[in-house]
Structure 1
Amino acid sequence: MLGQAAAQRQQVARVEGIAGWTEMLRDTLAAAAGIEQTIIATADTAPEAVRPQVRALAVRISAGQRLPDALRHLADELDDATADLVIASLILASERQGRRLGPVLDALAATARAHVEMRQRIDAGRARVRTTVRVVVITTVSFAGGLVLLNPEFLSPYDTWRGQLVLMLIGTVFAGAFTWLGRMARLEQPARILAGPGLSVDPTRLKGGEARKAVT
């Protein structure tokens, strides 16, 4: 609960990195390069947030792994719904020889940028909630720790089995309250389209049909 802000910033940075990499793919494809060559060419210059995963993808492609399989591995590594849209478009284009991948990547890059802006606005609105969570958690833990260290006699009734039962009930209530506060401060992630065994791609599930255009 105390580290949610850092996790949210990391997620936003990853989506922004996906948007930047998508734009790089679009621009490199405009030079009539193939998908494999485009990925390899952008591996060393990809945004820092996704560079390790893109480099690993380029290594797998250079080692002879099939592009769809390598891309599904990348989707599993990134674990992001926005990345799934881009990767699904690449998979469909590689399997069905899509000729309009450039415009599709352009639209997906714009979508990723819009997701970044939306998450930043939501994150700013949740900042007050996260501050409240930190204050409540730190105050509660500090108070309990202070009683144990400074006034253990006050807690002596809890040494009996009845006291332990009451303490367990109190702990359950606090755990439930902390969980509830954590959920209030957490930004829910959209469902992925490449999740699950096999990471199969269903063109009918792609948002707005953008990626379907890559196969027409």
Structure 2
Amino acid sequence: GAVGLEQAIQSSTEAAAVGLKPHLNMLVDLLRAKRPMAQALDAFAESLGDGSADMVIIALKDNARQRGPGFRDVLTALAETARDEADMRRKVLAERAGTRRSIQIVTGIIIVFPLGMALFNPGFVEPYRSVQGQAVLAVVAVFFGGAMVWLRKLSVLPPPARLLVRGETR
């Protein structure tokens, strides 16, 4: 029932991860202040701001309202899904880290090579000393900078989409 759920939430704050504790403490405080469970869970969802957590919060809200059997199975399935999602995100981030490192190496070479040529073989970069050469170099630099920005955007993993939005009641 809802009272059992409130007690479970209160007892879970002790074993919660460090990053989750302040949010859980806020939820417990709201429940102690006699805020309805659905409103307290909405505030909790807003505080967390995470799409993966929204699935668990929706299940908690449904259980508080319906008090049906099988809640443990739902939470177990959600935990497995969240674990699988976290593992997949870790793998993707690890693969992208290798790509980022390769991009850093290529960028370093692209910057160091012309500087070295200008220092040790000034005749090689002589065409870039004219206005036309500087214009060509500027165009190349803009394209290179654009490519770096584009690669940076590709390397950022977007957070999961939110299921609960402010003002939504479920």
Shorter-chain TM-score above 0.5 = yes
Cα distance in 1 between the residues matched to 2:4 and 2:140: 62
Deviation at 1:197, TM superposition (A): 3.3
Contact 2:46 2:166 in 1 (8 A): no
Aligned to 1:49: 19
Percent identical: 31
Post-superposition Cα deviations, 1:160-182, rounded to whole Å, max 9, x if no partner, equal xxx9xx96x77764553232111
Deviation at 1:80, TM superposition (A): 1.7
Unmatched segments (≥5 aa) in structure 2:
116-129
Post-superposition Cα deviations, 1:121-171, rounded to whole Å, max 9, x if no partner, equal 21221111222454567x49x88xx9xxxxxxxxxx99xxxx9xx96x777
SS at 2:167 equivalent: helix
Indicate yes or no: 2:167 matched with 1:198.
yes
Indicate yes or no: 2:115 matched with 1:115.
no
Cα distance in 1 between the residues matched to 2:39 and 2:28: 12
- TM-score when normalising by structure 2: 0.72
Cα distance in 2 between the residues matched to 1:65 and 1:33: 13
Contact 1:129 1:184 in 2 (8 A): no
Q: CA RMSD in A?
A: 3.3
Give the letter aligned to residue 36 of structure 1. Answer: E
Indicate yes or no: 2:8 matched with 1:35.
no
Deviation at 1:108, TM superposition (A): 0.8
Aligned to 2:33: 63
- TM-score when normalising by structure 1: 0.58
Q: How many residues align?
A: 155
Post-superposition Cα deviations, 1:1-57, rounded to whole Å, max 9, x if no partner, equal xxxxxxxxxxxxxxxxxxxxxxxxxxxx9xx96111111111122122312211111
1:118 to 1:39, Cα distance in 2 relative to 1, 3 A = same
Contact 1:84 1:193 in 2 (8 A): yes
